[in-house]
Structure 1
Amino acid sequence: MVAALAAAAITLLAGCAGTPAATPAADGTQIVRMATMPWIGYGPWYIAETDGIFADAGLSVEQTEFEGDAEVNAAFISGNVDVANVATHTAMLMQQAGVPIKIVLIEDVSTTADAIIAPAGIESIADLAGKKVAYEQGTTSDLLLNYALDDAGMTLDDIVAVPMNAADAGVALIGGKVDAAVTYEPYIQTALAEDADLGVLFSADKLPGLISDVLVVSDDFIAEHPDTIQALVSSWGLALDSYNADQPAGRAIIADAVGEDAAALSSAFDGVIFYDGAQNANELGGSFLNEAMPLVRKAAQSAGILTGDVDLSALVDPQFVAN
């Protein structure tokens, strides 16, 4: 029912959406409105801003930060932002609902940076039976939880689902409101630091590629502003070059942007694989499209997040990473 309501909401918003139009700033740079969240996988955009990469590319990128996926989706589909950072399965859900979009960039794959955390005494997924589990429905947390339960021969019916934003799930666990929480970094490390009794029960590295993020753009915006999208995609590649050349500096920028200490997020960064320009050029129209995306689609269908099929090849536009 949750998946059906999410799809209905996306369809309604799609019907209301106007054609977004990039506008030049007073200094002549092109304004791009971007929807994002405090997830370290989106961090290279902050490097692009701090290092002047956007400015050098003639861009003025206005990053608006949201707490949950639903807010990001609504802002993008309604035309209040031009581009959005979303999970791969979210892009599929948009396409299924008839939203004309394209994935133009692979941003990251999570290994240990998305996880189910629980206190001592809950040592396996089977131990979650009858327990209250906090997670954000329709998101990567939903995907991860469903996969973990299925792997253990269980379903959502075997637990007590407690819906809430991933940002709040760890807090609810620390406060004793729930028995386990599904969330992502930096919230995992924050919870573990607050309560020494907590540990990681299950993480995304059990199925590499399941949790991934992409940049989506409407078909109209691509048609009207291809040079702007090219400059944005190229800026990501340059930001990753900067990050790889000086990881401590790059991590400091990202940690500051998400409101955390870089040292405390060291293991969190180790649990994220960023995709640079060369990897995007090789994989967006290759292994990511042909291997990773079918895996995500299958998991989302099994979880009931996707209720039908999607045309993966029609969802990807690799022209910008190829350039």
Structure 2
Amino acid sequence: MPMSILSQLRNLAASASLALLAAPAIAAAPSADLKPESGTVKLGMQPWLGYGQWYVADEQGHFAANGLQGVELINFNEDKDMNAALASGRIDAGNLATHTAMAMVSAGLPVKIVMLLDQSTSADALIVDPSIKTLADLKGKAVAYEEGTTSDILLHSALAKAGMTLADIRPVPMPASSAGSALIAGQVPAAVTYEPYLSVAAQQNPNIRTLYQGSDDPGLISDVLVVRDEMLQKRPGQVLALLRSWEAAYRFYQANPQQGQAIIARGVGASADELDSAFAGVKFYSLADNQRDLQVQGEFINTSMRHITKAAGDAGLLPQPVSPAQLLDTRFVEALK
């Protein structure tokens, strides 16, 4: 998220301020037997397989089974467009990278994280040619990566682990789709990218290896469901039904992985074969995972938030740190225990 996006977030927050002033306080903890309110839920999406259980829920009828009158999956190509839609109320909820959600809350947008969706374990990685043996070898070397994205976050995490900063390398900004190609062509000795570009690079040059990946800083590269405060206040039954639908889809996926992967691949516009290694590098979160990790002493609050705050702050992607109370509304996952 480049600085221009941060400016956009601040402007969007300012435009939403009057609505925030008029909004009632967050309602009391929802009861598990609360029925969904009437109306269609508008859910913002991007073509990333980590959001895939929504495609499963849609195709398998889980939304209707959990009492929702309708869920419209609305695709966006860029974060800035989803940010604007969330701020204006054109969508009710959105699926975002965790650092993007934190930046939105930091800028004052009226949203909360209600559920962890997925984390990348090996689907995002720093890959290198044989000249790079350790993270320390990156010093003074050219590294290709896309600014303002999860690649940016992962690179800062890797550098911090080696006691370095961006000033210690030669940054080569470019789209993630081009970073692996630059490494293969010998233009750079290191690149940060994600699937399916990682698999393409490995297939074209077997000497390329992974030096650092999402699992080296668990939860750093992850995605969350954010919901507008207005929906949390006025339609808590729909929020509960969404979480139940994700869980139903998750269980279907666990029981029928090939069918589930085929559904998700269609949803993101690819074939299951193209995404085979990508699926292997992504962990989906269940409700039980959420109930464990979103506790005060849980992994997300205790570890992931701190690491994301540092990496996003170092990358200039987080205006100021946010607290768990500002960022999270855990009442819904707790109600479904």
TM-score normalised by structure 2 residue count: 0.82
Note if 1:56 corresponds to 2:65.
yes
Note if 1:260 corresponds to 2:270.
yes
Once residues 175 and 253 of structure 1 are traced to their aligned partners in structure 2, the CA distance between those partners, rounded to angstroms, is 35
Residues 31 and 61 in structure 1, CA contact (< 8 A), matched pair in contact too:
yes
Once residues 177 and 260 of structure 1 are traced to their aligned partners in structure 2, the CA distance between those partners, rounded to angstroms, is 29
Residue 171 of structure 1 deviates from its aligned partner by: 4.8
Note if 1:289 corresponds to 2:298.
no
Residue 276 of structure 1 deviates from its aligned partner by: 0.8
Residue 3 of structure 1 deviates from its aligned partner by: 5.9
Letter in 1 for 2:248: L
Correspondent of 2:55 among 26, 46, 64:
46
Deviates more, 1:174-183 or 1:40-49: 174-183
Once residues 194 and 273 of structure 1 are traced to their aligned partners in structure 2, the CA distance between those partners, rounded to angstroms, is 26
Percent identity between the two aligned chains:
46
Residues 289 and 313 in structure 1, CA contact (< 8 A), matched pair in contact too:
no
The two structures, once aligned, show a CA RMSD in angstroms of 2.8
Correspondent of 1:166 among 176, 181, 187:
176
**Distance 1:175-1:260 versus aligned 2 partners, 3 A rule:** farther
Deviates more, 1:191-200 or 1:231-240: 191-200
Name the SS for the 1:84 alignment partner: strand
Name the SS for the 1:104 alignment partner: strand
Show the counterpart of 1:138. 148
Letter in 1 for 2:324: L
Letter in 2 for 1:146: H
Correspondent of 1:210 among 209, 212, 220:
220
Letter in 2 for 1:296: I
Show the counterpart of 1:99. 109
Correspondent of 2:244 among 211, 234, 241:
234
**Distance 1:195-1:314 versus aligned 2 partners, 3 A rule:** same
Deviates more, 1:60-69 or 1:227-236: 60-69
Letter in 2 for 1:310: V
Name the SS for the 1:262 alignment partner: coil
Q: Deviation digits for residues 95-129 of structure 1, max 9, x if unmatched?
A: 21111211111101221121112344344334444
Gaps of 5+ in 2: 21-36
Show the counterpart of 2:27. none
Correspondent of 1:312 among 296, 300, 324:
324
Residue 178 of structure 1 deviates from its aligned partner by: 5.1
Show the counterpart of 2:167. 157
Note if 1:299 corresponds to 2:290.
no
Once residues 238 and 5 of structure 2 are traced to their aligned partners in structure 1, the CA distance between those partners, rounded to angstroms, is 30
Gaps of 5+ in 1: 21-27
Residues 12 and 109 in structure 2, CA contact (< 8 A), matched pair in contact too:
no
Residue 217 of structure 1 deviates from its aligned partner by: 1.1
Name the SS for the 1:80 alignment partner: coil
Once residues 240 and 291 of structure 1 are traced to their aligned partners in structure 2, the CA distance between those partners, rounded to angstroms, is 25
Residues 19 and 220 in structure 1, CA contact (< 8 A), matched pair in contact too:
no
**Distance 1:186-1:311 versus aligned 2 partners, 3 A rule:** same
Show the counterpart of 1:25. none
Residue 13 of structure 1 deviates from its aligned partner by: 1.7
Letter in 2 for 1:50: E
Show the counterpart of 2:210. 200
**Distance 1:189-1:61 versus aligned 2 partners, 3 A rule:** farther
Q: Deviation digits for residues 215-261 of structure 1, max 9, x if unmatched?
A: 01111122122222221111111110111111121122222323333
Show the counterpart of 2:15. 16
Name the SS for the 2:171 alignment partner: strand
Name the SS for the 1:209 alignment partner: coil
Residues 186 and 260 in structure 1, CA contact (< 8 A), matched pair in contact too:
no
Deviates more, 1:248-257 or 1:40-49: 248-257
Deviates more, 1:202-211 or 1:192-201: 192-201
Letter in 1 for 2:194: Y
Name the SS for the 1:137 alignment partner: coil
Letter in 2 for 1:9: Q
Once residues 71 and 162 of structure 1 are traced to their aligned partners in structure 2, the CA distance between those partners, rounded to angstroms, is 26
Show the counterpart of 1:23. none
Query: How many residues are paired up?
Result: 315
Q: Deviation digits for residues 191-216 of structure 1, max 9, x if unmatched?
A: 43344453323211112122221101
**Distance 1:312-1:165 versus aligned 2 partners, 3 A rule:** farther
Show the counterpart of 1:24. none
Once residues 290 and 152 of structure 1 are traced to their aligned partners in structure 2, the CA distance between those partners, rounded to angstroms, is 22
